[in-house]
């Protein structure tokens, strides 16, 4: 259980930094990361690999959003 909490916190910090840098809304992306982690671990019971897959899907979704909807001058 402590390892799960540590991974939730680490994932939240990572996505906070990404969201703060890319969108100026770090708490939103951190909240999505933590919510997705709780859903995959506790609600669906997918375990550690499900948590990592959920985080990769969130990262992929943010990357897709940046490629599709953000103008070139606003990237990075």
Q: What is the pLDDT of residue 2?
A: 84
Kindly give the confidence (pLDDT) of every residue in the chain, 76 residues in length, as a single tens digit, with 9 standing for 90 and above.
788 889 999 999 999 999 998 888 899 999 999 999 999 988 888 888 889 999 999 999 999 988 888 776 665 5
In SS3 terms, 8-71 reads as HHHHHHHHHHHHHHHCCCHHHHHHHHHHHHHHHHHHCCCHHHHHHHHHHHHHHHHHHHHHHHCC
Placement of tokens 């019971």 in the chain = 45
Distance CA 51, CA 67 (A): 24
| Cα 13 to the center of its chain, rounded Å | 9
Distance CA 66, CA 36 (A): 20
Q: pTM score, two decimals? A: 0.81
């Amino acid at each position: 259980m402590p390892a799960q909490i540590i991974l939730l916190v680490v994932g939240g910090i990572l996505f906070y930094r990404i969201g703060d840098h890319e969108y100026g809304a770090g708490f939103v992306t951190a909240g999505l990361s933590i919510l997705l982690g709780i859903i995959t671990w506790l609600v669906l019971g997918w375990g550690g690999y499900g948590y990592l897959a959920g985080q990769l899907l969130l990262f992929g979704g943010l990357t897709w959003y940046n490629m599709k909807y953000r103008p070139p001058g606003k990237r990075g």
